[in-house]
Structure 1
Amino acid sequence: METLLLWLFYISTLYAFIPGLISRMFGFRVFRRGKGEHEFALTFDDGPDPVYTPQLLDLLKKYNAKATFFVVGSNAEKNPDIIKRMYDEGHLIGIHNYVHKTNWLMRPGTVKKQILRTDKIIHKITGFNTHYYRPPWGIVNLFDFSRKNDIQIVLWSSMFGDWRYRLGADSLARRMLNKLAPGEIFLLHDCGSTLGANMDAPVHMMMALERVLQAAEEQGLRSIRIDDMIAQSGGAVAGSGSINRSRAAKPVKLSWFKKAVVFLWLLWEKIFHFVFQLKTTNKEDPIFHFRTRTYHGNPVDMRDGSRLEKGDQILELHFDNKKLFEIGSTSKSTVQLAIQMIRAVEKTLPELAQYIIKHPELGEIKALYGVSMINRGPEQFGFTVTDLPQGFFAKSSTAYLKLLMSVIHPAGQQRLKRHSEQLIPKLIVMPINLLLSRFAVSGSHRQITELDNEPTEPALEATISY
């Protein structure tokens, strides 16, 4: 039962929760706000609707406003004439899945089929493919991030609850006018048939929108398509390159909102630690958290000549994500990041050895165990580094750790781009006897001056186990 709960926790965290947080926190692989002096963007989800979308197109035409429509494929299939009109009148058409269903409840292959099917429908009607995608409810999963130049995920900076009819046109207009500013991406809906929406809600949306378009005209603002906003914000349109390709190697500066989301992320980690009863050697300044469990993987030959086999007891290590984030966000270079992480591990291994000696119930533990995204480094402490068996766990670990590395690494996306072939999660193990013989008595006095003088790659990329 515990194993099942653990896997469910892993899957939900890796597949949905963490990607959602990081897309919101850092805008990773998504476009959610533009730049400009006189432009904002109107985007419409869930349509086309045979009644309301033509009326909306009339309104946009009246004010010479361009918009982006993220269409549901099944609705587009039923209303090809409306899709053709959108295209002919100069609006951008994007994808909102074939059916309005969250990506959290679909396998990666199913999401891909939904996108491709909708794109084929749009191409059949207009003769052109689209590269713009908004997942329903803006919920991304782990594998959405693996779509590189073929798909640009587009979220929003402002939404208003316009799917509720009871909100009313006056209240909706006030909300929209308060957010009317250059660079804003408005999320609106031209169809009320989605679960949770009201069928007649677009009536009030269009009444409010006309007031906004009038105000925009008076203020010298104009609504443009998402691809135009991406281009003027300094990014490349999807299909020809990804936006914001480079990220300077400097400490991460967080707004109050991002700090709040980081807090929620770390709260999620605390829940994980509570559910699975993880322990640490230093509650004030933890580096590793750990728990005992039974090993279920392939045999591994370790540094002392012994072999870790299925059924052996292991101490599973989990790097403290708060510490990892602090190190990554304050490091000014990859070398500095590596030095801080090596020193943190160097400090903790003697503490861990003493902990095991003081707890006789851990006498059956055969090895330390973890999963790490690594090039070189743990071997100097006595770890054996080996490949993970091919499969879902290896693939999901790779995707998640690359995602996390792009956030905490000072070189960010540049690091991923230059050395993506090296960013592969590895299994690391150390026999307990080796840990005790090296670190239990006098601790580790290993010097890292050779790393201090190393101008290129860090010794330790990241150590995060699941």
Structure 2
Amino acid sequence: MTFSVFILCLFCDTPYIQAITSSREAYEKTGNVIWEGHTKEKIVAITFDDGPHPSYTPQILDILAKYNAKATFFVSGNKVKSNPGILMREIKEGHEIANHTYHHYYNKNMTADLLSSELDQTDKVIWDIAKYKPSLYRPVGGLHNDIIINTAVKKGYKVILWSWHQDPQDWKRPAPNKISTHIINSLRAGDIILLHDWSDRPQTVIALETTLDYLYKNGYECVTVSDLIFRSNVSTPGFFRTFPVE
């Protein structure tokens, strides 16, 4: 069944496309869109969007190495082009690289052609630098609809969002303790945690160390998103995890 519909504008000569957004349950049952893992094992996936940043990403990598933690970096192609050495370090240290488009457009009217171009440009710059092909994609700002998801899936991507309860909104630059407290107090096995490594991120760097210290003292392991998927059953079509409304 397709959920995308075409609506003809009655007052102009040019047709436009209205992209339908289906329910989380409908998307999750396909196995193509994932919000978190489904496991009792004490594993979580910490993710970073928008980088790499020439200053903050290396600091983040130092902290991850200190705790032997693995992360997934949803990189923007134009930032990768400017910081190729950091991308190589991420890969060499065992982290996962995922596609977050090239120009980081937040576009509610995203077309299949534009998204395809954005994904292809990012794939190319990553391949040219590291001979690495991402298999995961995160929409900018988490914005998703049938056009965005279907386009990504046709290009071979699994679409990764994040646990609804694990967005500490570090992009608003709250105090470090607010970021870490949000993550720790909301913690569940299988969480996909959303953070960012672009723009002004000293708060995120400080909060990361506090968070990792807590996780490892309490028996949690930080793994890549692909590892989280492999070790849980979210990659199976038909899976859907229900949560109480918060």
Q: TM-score, normalised by structure 2?
A: 0.85
Deviations along 1:340-388, whole A, 9 cap, x unmatched? xxxxxxxxxxxxxxxxxxxxxxxxxxxxxxxxxxxxxxxxxxxxxxxxx
What is the CA-CA distance between 1:24 and the residue it aligns to? 6.9
Q: Distance in 2 between matches of 1:148 and 1:109?
A: 12
What is the CA-CA distance between 1:104 and the residue it aligns to? 2.4
What is the CA-CA distance between 1:126 and the residue it aligns to? 1.4
Amino acid at match of 1:38: K
Q: Distance in 1 between matches of 2:36 and 2:237?
A: 16
RMSD: 2.6
Amino acid at match of 1:160: P
Question: 2:186 aligned with 1:176, yes or no?
Answer: no
Change over 3 Å in CA distance of 1:52–1:84 after alignment to 2: same
Q: Distance in 2 between matches of 1:2 and 1:106?
A: 18
Aligned to 2:17: 11
The total of aligned residue pairs comes to 231
8 Å Cα contact 1:103-1:141 kept in structure 2: no
Question: 2:195 aligned with 1:188, yes or no?
Answer: yes
What is the CA-CA distance between 1:127 and the residue it aligns to? 1.2
1:161 aligned to which of 155, 169, 173: 169
Aligned to 1:354: none
Aligned to 2:55: 51
Aligned to 2:218: 219
8 Å Cα contact 1:103-1:135 kept in structure 2: no
What is the CA-CA distance between 1:103 and the residue it aligns to? 4.4
What is the CA-CA distance between 1:211 and the residue it aligns to? 0.9
Deviations along 1:215-254, whole A, 9 cap, x unmatched? 111111011001101111135xxxxxxx32346xxxx997
Larger Rg: 1
Amino acid at match of 1:225: T
Amino acid at match of 1:159: D
Amino acid at match of 2:38: K
Change over 3 Å in CA distance of 1:38–1:149 after alignment to 2: farther
Amino acid at match of 2:193: F
Q: Distance in 1 between matches of 2:53 and 2:219?
A: 30
Amino acid at match of 2:169: G
What is the CA-CA distance between 1:125 and the residue it aligns to? 1.5
8 Å Cα contact 2:43-2:223 kept in structure 1: yes
1:120 aligned to which of 113, 120, 124: 124
Change over 3 Å in CA distance of 1:4–1:120 after alignment to 2: same
What is the CA-CA distance between 1:107 and the residue it aligns to? 1.9
Amino acid at match of 1:126: A
What SS does structure 2 have at the residue aligned with 1:74? helix
8 Å Cα contact 1:180-1:216 kept in structure 2: no
What SS does structure 1 have at the residue aligned with 2:23? helix
What is the CA-CA distance between 1:114 and the residue it aligns to? 0.5
Q: Distance in 1 between matches of 2:145 and 2:241?
A: 25
Question: 2:98 aligned with 1:94, yes or no?
Answer: yes
What SS does structure 2 have at the residue aligned with 1:163? helix
Aligned to 2:236: 244
Stretches of structure 2 that go unaligned for 5 or more consecutive residues are 1-7
Stretches of structure 1 that go unaligned for 5 or more consecutive residues are 193-199, 236-242, 261-466
Amino acid at match of 1:244: T
Aligned to 1:288: none
What SS does structure 2 have at the residue aligned with 1:115? helix
Question: 2:91 aligned with 1:66, yes or no?
Answer: no
Change over 3 Å in CA distance of 1:73–1:108 after alignment to 2: same
Deviations along 1:195-221, whole A, 9 cap, x unmatched? xxxxx2x11111111111011111110
What SS does structure 2 have at the residue aligned with 1:111? helix
8 Å Cα contact 1:34-1:229 kept in structure 2: yes
Change over 3 Å in CA distance of 1:253–1:65 after alignment to 2: closer
Q: Distance in 2 between matches of 1:58 and 1:24?
A: 38
8 Å Cα contact 1:45-1:71 kept in structure 2: yes
Which structure has greater helix proportion? 1
What is the CA-CA distance between 1:35 and the residue it aligns to? 2.7
Q: Distance in 1 between matches of 2:169 and 2:26?
A: 22
Aligned to 2:4: none
Amino acid at match of 1:45: D
Q: Distance in 2 between matches of 1:182 and 1:73?
A: 31
Give runs of aligned pairs for residues 270-419 of structure 1, distance below 5 A. Answer: none
Amino acid at match of 2:198: C
Deviations along 1:383-436, whole A, 9 cap, x unmatched? xxxxxxxxxxxxxxxxxxxxxxxxxxxxxxxxxxxxxxxxxxxxxxxxxxxxxx
Change over 3 Å in CA distance of 1:149–1:2 after alignment to 2: closer
Amino acid at match of 1:140: H
Deviations along 1:90-131, whole A, 9 cap, x unmatched? 000001100111242332111101101101111111112111
8 Å Cα contact 1:103-1:111 kept in structure 2: no
